[in-house]
Amino acid sequence: MKKLLRCFMLVLIAAMFMFTAAGVAAAEVKQVKGQTLYIPYYTSFIGHGRDYSLKATTYIHNTDRHNAISITKIDYYSTSGKLVEKHLPQPLKLNPLAATRISVKEPLRGEEGTGAHLLIQWQADNKVTEPLIEGVFLGSEGTHGYSFSSQARVIQEDAN
């Protein structure tokens, strides 16, 4: 049964990525030199009077075909806005079309995990296409699995 549940979750994740990619492809291509982004990092949700745990992973894709970008900051915050962890000890270079993933070592649970989030900052030497940054959230309870995704939101931009 666990094997069937895993297969179902993988198919569901693949379908979510296909629909998300279709939406991104239809959007205007934007060239910028850096951004600060906000992305939810939900590690639990509360429903039916219970606390359900989630496995959260954030993916960063450099979508530029010719230029590298540097991830300069990844900070993890609780629901209440308290800085929990500075996740990146030094800048991380992402070559053209490269990707990386982020998993927080000790995610928050309960109320402090329901609105947890990351602030991610990146920069480039030249104007580049915006990176694709998404969060994927998975969980299961008994024979039921649940999953969803969320895209990062730009809160500051360096267009020059």
Instruction: Summarize pLDDT for 46-104 with one digit per residue, the tens.
Output: 777 887 888 889 999 999 999 999 999 999 999 999 999 998 989 999 999 999 999 88
Residue 114 banded pLDDT, cuts 50, 70, 90: confident
CATH numeric code, 2-20+34-158: 2.60.290.11
The predicted pLDDT at position 132 comes to 96
In this structure, of 13-17, 63-67, 109-113, the range with the lowest mean pLDDT score is: 13-17
**pLDDT beyond 80 at 151:** yes
Strand, coil or helix: what is 60? Answer: strand
Distance between CA 9 and CA 37 in Å, rounded? 27
The predicted pLDDT at position 42 comes to 85
**pLDDT beyond 90 at 119:** yes
* Residue (of 157, 156, 150) closest to 39 by Cα position: 150
The predicted pLDDT at position 20 comes to 56
Whether 119 contacts 40, CB under 8 Å: no
Domain boundaries, the chain: 2-20+34-158
Burial 96-131 (b: 16+ CB within 10 A, else e): eeeeeebebeebbeeebbbbbbbbbbbbbeeebbbb
